[in-house]
Chain A
Amino acid sequence: MDIILLNVIVLVYLLIVGYLGYKGWKGTSSAEDYMVGGRKIHPFVMAMSYGATFISTAAIVGFGGFAGLFGMSLLWLTFLNIFLGIFIAFVFFGKRTRKMGHNLNALTFPELLAKRFESKFIQWFSGLLIFCAMPIYAAAVLIGAARFIETTLNISFDVALLVFSVIIAVYVVMGGLKGVMYTDAFQGTIMFFGMLFLLYMTYDILGGVTTAHQAITNMSGMVPANLASIGHAGWTSMPTFGSPMWWTIVSSIILGVGIGVLAQPQLVVRFMTVKSNRELNRAVLIGAVFILIATGTAYVVGTLSNVYFMNTEGVLSIGATVSEAFPTGNSDSIMPLYINKAMPEWFIYIFLVSLLAAAMSTISSQFHAQGTSIGRDVYETLCGKKGLNSVIITRFGIIVAIIIAVILGYILPGGIVARGTALFFGLCSAAFLPAYALGLFWKRTTKEGAIAGLLTGTFVSLFCLLFVHEKEAAALGISKMLIGRDVLISTMPWPFVDPMVISLPLAFIATVVVSLLTKAPSEDHLKKCFKGI
């Protein structure tokens, strides 16, 4: 390891991040500056910030590792990320969100919903839900970054996790969203070039695009028996239709994350930070190229790492990650290990920085979203107080959020990065998407309908997590304690169907039915919400 080179790269990186954080802090004078960056953010900064927040170590380390296990069927998620997460999200949702956010002077996602539906309950319940559910996602991202530091610098995972959390805490608490968005844009740029080089190098090492793909296609006979038995049909094939693996990939990973992205509080707030639709139009172009390179590379390289490890060490990727702590391998270690083995040393350090950047940008936005949830949405709504006090509560909320995420980072098991992310995305989409989407596009949606959808989505998801979806229900053990079985229904495919597939449609139905049964919102209020839309 070249300690001098590493130190120089990390130092330069931290200096730039420190400067950008300081710049954000200097430019933060009002609560509005702190919450939505003063609504005057450059489109490049906005798009890169959205992309860097969206794509984190969870996508690169966690989902890249999943691709190492399950293969290229995960590319459907990249397609949804681009088509739904960028095109539909920016062109259709983003413009309306921005305008409605402006019309109602809303600063956070729960505040937007609350003002649209004139309900304080929606604001504090959503705020509380975000504050309580986000730590698992934040912890997943922290773990992803710490695993990479562990592998690259050969230091203990526990130390890596702690030091990394402290660095993030300092610049999020100081800068607010403006600081977060400047640093995000810088980090997004590093990530973009890092991933582009990784993709190019991987195809180059393995003999070109078609040759590399053909090599992994030819390895379909080497699928381990335990994976073949759950539906693995090869790394360039979809899993067997209806098998446990098919349900996991299609319902949890592809649909859960692919659709979930539309209602992510830490992403939606970004639509409210630009001054006009022009910025969103430009961000569509920048964002899509970014997502294609960032996630596409992670899934393609994750899959192709099997060819590399088979050629060099005679094992599959997961086999290469076997260690004392993980006797059957850890999918979270596939990407860090591959990069450390296959890439030139200088690139490993640059990539370390870009991965840390990815984690920092996502996690800082998560902490920021959690902080504003508690400060603005819960504190202000319940106590009726505004102003600097809520900024102080927000900063305090961020610190509490960081502490919870670090504790979870220490106790969560291996292979959790992708699953933790999918779980959070699924819960968010079930709880928020019906009220958010219908609130933007259907004037007849009522306060009662929105509350019905919010509660149905939240509680059906939680019920499924505790009693239906085997992975979480068995781990949490509440079902076992109450009814003596890991899951309520053990007939296929229910134990493998992601909670979102059940809770999201039910939440939509609840929102529509209750809206139709209750009194329509007043014309005056609708006029105010939809002015200029």
Chain B
Amino acid sequence: MLGISDPYVLSAYVLCILSTLLCVIYGALNWNKGSETETEEIEEELKWEKEEEKMEDEIGTVV
């Protein structure tokens, strides 16, 4: 099939395409899922950022 006689190499060729299809289907089905905690995380990071800046001001940095 496809001019490739060894079933192991042919399997690799076909599996490359099938695994890509798996990823495409997964990506399409979950395209808009997973952003529920985004706002909360950004707020937390802003808090860290401020803490870090405050810490740097206290310690002082050499530029």
Which residues of chain A have a CB within 8 Å of any CB of chain B?
Answer: 30-32, 39-40, 71-73, 75-76, 78-79, 82-83, 86-87, 91, 95, 102, 105, 209-217, 233-234, 236-238, 275-289, 291-292, 296, 385-389, 392, 532
Contact = CB atoms under 8 A, between A and B. Distances in A.
A280 B19 contact: no
Interface string B22-34: 1110111011111
Contacts of A236: 3-6, 9
Which 4 A-B pairs rank lowest in CB-CB distance, beginning with the nearest?
A285-B27, A213-B3, A277-B34, A288-B23
A286 B28 CA distance: 10
Given A30-B49, A72-B9, A389-B61, A288 B3 contact: no
Contact of B20 (A39, A210, A292, A387): A292
A276 B49 contact: no
Nearest to A216: B3
A210 B30 CA distance: 35
A91 B26 contact: yes
Contacts of B4: 72, 213, 217, 236
A87 B33 contact: no
A139 to B, nearest CB: 29
A79 B42 contact: no
Contacts of B15: 79, 83
Contact of A87 (B8, B13, B23, B59): B23
9 contacts: A32-B45, A87-B26, A236-B4, A236-B6, A277-B34, A288-B19, A289-B24, A386-B61, A387-B56
Given A76-B12, A79-B12, A217 B3 contact: yes
Contacts of A275: 35, 38, 41-42
B59 A289 contact: no
Q: How large is the interface on B (under 10, 10 to 19, 20 to 34, 35 or more residues)?
A: 35 or more
Nearest to A300: B13
A232 to B, nearest CB: 13
A278 B28 CA distance: 11
Contacts, number: 151
B41 A281 contact: no
Q: Chain B: interface secondary structure?
A: helix
B28 to A, nearest CB: 6
A387 B9 contact: no
A382 B61 CA distance: 16
Nearest to B25: A285
Contact of B35 (A78, A102, A277): A277
A102 B41 CA distance: 8
Contact of A82 (B20, B27, B42, B45): B20
Q: Which of A32, A283, A288, A392 has the most CB of B within 10 A?
A: A288
B3 A209 contact: yes
Contacts of A286: 27
Given A72-B4, A73-B12, A214-B3, A282 B31 contact: yes
B9 A73 contact: yes
Contacts of A214: 3
Q: Which of B6, B9, B35 has the most CB of A within 10 A?
A: B9
A280 B34 contact: yes
B61 A532 contact: no
Contacts of B8: 73, 237-238
A276 B20 contact: no
Q: Which of B27, B28, B45 has the most CB of A within 10 A?
A: B27
B63 A289 contact: no
A278 B19 CA distance: 20
A276 B41 contact: yes
Contact of B5 (A95, A217, A385): A217
Nearest to A33: B49
Contacts of B5: 217, 236-237
Nearest to A275: B38
Contacts of B52: 31-32, 386
Given A237-B6, A282-B31, 7 more contacts: A76-B12, A95-B34, A209-B2, A236-B3, A276-B38, A386-B55, A387-B61
